[in-house]
Amino acid sequence: MSVLVSVYLLVATNLTFWSRASTYFGTAKLGLLSFGLGISLLVFVVTTAVSVKYLFKPALIFFILVSGVSSYFADTFGVIIDKEMVESAVVTTTAEAGHLITPRFLLHVLFFAVLPALFVVWVKVRHRPFLSKVLYNLAVIVPSLVAVVALASLNFASIAYVIRDHKDMMKLFNPSGPISAAVRYASSVYEDTNIVVAPFGIDAHAGDRLAKSKKPVVVVLVVGETARAMNFSLNGYARETNPELKALGVVNFTRTTSCGTATSVSLPCMFSGYTRDEYTEWKAHSRQNLVDVLTHAGVQVSWWDNNTGSKGIANLINYASLNNRKNSPLCKGGECLDAIFLEGLDQKLATIKTDTVIVLHQLGSHGPAYYLRYPEEYRTFKPDCRTPELMNCKPEEIVNAYDNSILYTDHILASVAKLLQKHETNAAGAMIYMSDHGESLGENGVYLHGAPYAIAPKEQTHVPFIAWFSKSYQSIMGLDTACLLQYSDAATSHDNLFHTVLGMMNIQTGVYNRGLDAFAACSVAG
């Protein structure tokens, strides 16, 4: 039974792993052979080591189920099940998860997980007496481990090089990769239960320009979802995906990189005040963030969410989830089009009496069901992929659906700017937009996002960064937008968001770093 299950795990559920290993070892065929034999023996060692009565079958069934499910995402989308991916799966909504539970997925799980697990249940296993079993298993395990050491020693240089330089390879191995990721996620959740959130930026206060303003200043911060910069026509994309923003004359930063490749990493990082090099999940959770610093300065801050939550960022401020509305024509199946923001924003801007920041967390272009992210009237690029099973669509159909979602985001952002313009007599408004991460659309066989940052393609890390300012805002804050256009090709990143928003609201605090404020060079300090 140990041999059968080991062979099954190695052959049927690790196709992507072996393909990636073959690519990484390249011409070092002996290294690949030694590595492959060594890994195979280690799997056999593990399945033999758990061959204890009452443990054996449950352990094998667990290995098969984990491998069978995770192999679908690796083989279909090229996705690695790491800690961040496990976290994304845990916090996802039912509607979002439903786009992945397709007929193809269910068939894969049936044939690669359920049926093999039932085979293990069905087969009768005879167990030797305990002492005999220990001796017999040791007679198998010890020589196998010796062989593993020998194989590794024979080709140590090539094996060590590949494992060290291609850490994604072992994360793809089933079932150890997903199990390790789940354990690390559980460990981080346990650590978070003991975290005490430290105050941050409590010295924050309004600067002279904000204090002297005769009307409230409003910044709408739109957090994008899964938008990659290369599909924005503002960045040179051949298709016109940003006609409305282009007409508004926005400031567009062309070289912006993300902190992570998944929302669970990028979102806390963007608001934390840490640079990407400094950022850790524990640090972000153990200190207040941008919205709290703004609150310390007397700014009214609200978070409106059309996604899967604020990842703890909005715990201490006004928070509203908009995707659970039952009777809106913009909502279906637990998800809403991003236009759900607009009516409430119009009403909010009409009644604002104090300096305000409103965060709009978009559903944006979240896949794989790109076709559900835009209404029929924005179905401009056709034929578009009309299913979350991307492998059933042609590459151009996937791109068409994704581009339609970007076209719709263009409309949402332009609508936000126009609402700020509409209420300019009541408040001096500005909008800033930055996406959390990008998306792979099949380039090099990779889809979706969440790749380990060290190997993530630019499609997942190059994100849009756009700003719009009303005339009254520019006047109050002493901002020269013509000057900003000269800096639009400067390298920017999520590191800039924290300090840029503080600068936009003219907040004075010791935690503000003018050097990381993307607009500072073109605004008057004070």
DSSP states along 331-380: EETTEE-TTHHHHHHHHHHHH--S-EEEEEE--TT-SS-GGGSS-GGG--
Domain final position from 176, 191, 206: 191
Let me know if residue 196 belongs to a domain.
no
Domains of the chain: total: 2
Count of alpha carbons within 13 angstroms of residue 141, beta-carbon side: 14
Condensed to tens digits (0 to 9), the pLDDT of residues 437-450 reads: 999 999 989 999 99
- Same domain, yes or no: 397 and 260: yes
Q: Give the distance, in angstroms, between the CA of residue 74 and the centroid of all CA atoms in the same chain.
A: 17
Domain final position from 191, 206, 236: 191
Residue keyed to tokens 């051949």: 238
Tell me the β-bridge partners of 219.
Answer: 357, 430
- Same domain, yes or no: 365 and 513: yes
For residue 345, what pLDDT is reported? 98
SS (H, E, C) 334-347: CEECCCHHHHHHHH
- Same domain, yes or no: 168 and 241: no
- Same domain, yes or no: 272 and 146: no
How would you classify the pairing of strands 462-469 and 251-257?
Answer: antiparallel
- Same domain, yes or no: 71 and 149: yes
Q: Please choose, from the candidates 199, 515, 273, the residue with its C-alpha nearest in 3D space to the C-alpha of residue 525.
A: 515
In eight-state DSSP terms, residue 197 is P
* Separation CA 360–CA 222 (nearest Å): 5
Let me know if residue 204 belongs to a domain.
no
- Same domain, yes or no: 166 and 233: no
* Separation CA 475–CA 230 (nearest Å): 33
For residue 193, what pLDDT is reported? 76
Q: Which two tokens stand for residue 333?
A: 């199946």
The residues, ordered by sequence, that sit 6+ positions from 469 with a Cβ below 8 Å of its Cβ are 251, 430, 431, 479, 481
- Same domain, yes or no: 238 and 372: yes
Range of the domain at 221: 217-522
- Same domain, yes or no: 235 and 186: no
For residue 526, what pLDDT is reported? 55
- Same domain, yes or no: 463 and 342: yes
* Separation CA 151–CA 145 (nearest Å): 10
Let me know if residue 208 belongs to a domain.
no
Beta carbons of 192 and 285 less than 8 angstroms apart: yes
Please tell me whether residue 401 adopts helix, strand or coil conformation. helix
Report DSSP letters for 112-148, one per residue: IIIHHHHHHHHS--PPPPHHHHHHHHHHHHHHHHHHH
- Same domain, yes or no: 24 and 155: yes
Let me know if residue 32 belongs to a domain.
yes
Let me know if residue 328 belongs to a domain.
yes
Let me know if residue 205 belongs to a domain.
no
* Low-confidence residues of the chain: pLDDT under 70: 525-526
Residue keyed to tokens 């220990």: 134
C-alpha angle 413-77-305 in degrees, rounded to nearest 5? 30
The phi, psi pair for 12, rounded to 5°, reads: -85, -30
Let me know if residue 203 belongs to a domain.
no
The residues, ordered by sequence, that sit 6+ positions from 526 with a Cβ below 8 Å of its Cβ are 207, 208, 209, 478, 506
Please tell me whether residue 430 adopts helix, strand or coil conformation. strand
- Same domain, yes or no: 161 and 221: no
For residue 15, what pLDDT is reported? 96
* Separation CA 261–CA 464 (nearest Å): 14
Question: Which CATH number belongs to the domain containing residue 355 in this structure?
Answer: 3.40.720.10
- Same domain, yes or no: 152 and 230: no
C-alpha angle 486-492-494 in degrees, rounded to nearest 5? 145
- Please count the other Cβ atoms lying within 10 Å of the Cβ belonging to residue 125: 12
The residues, ordered by sequence, that sit 6+ positions from 425 with a Cβ below 8 Å of its Cβ are none
**Burial environment of residue 521 by CB neighbours within 10 A (0 to 12, 13 to 18, 19 or more):** middle
Let me know if residue 212 belongs to a domain.
no
Beta carbons of 191 and 282 less than 8 angstroms apart: yes
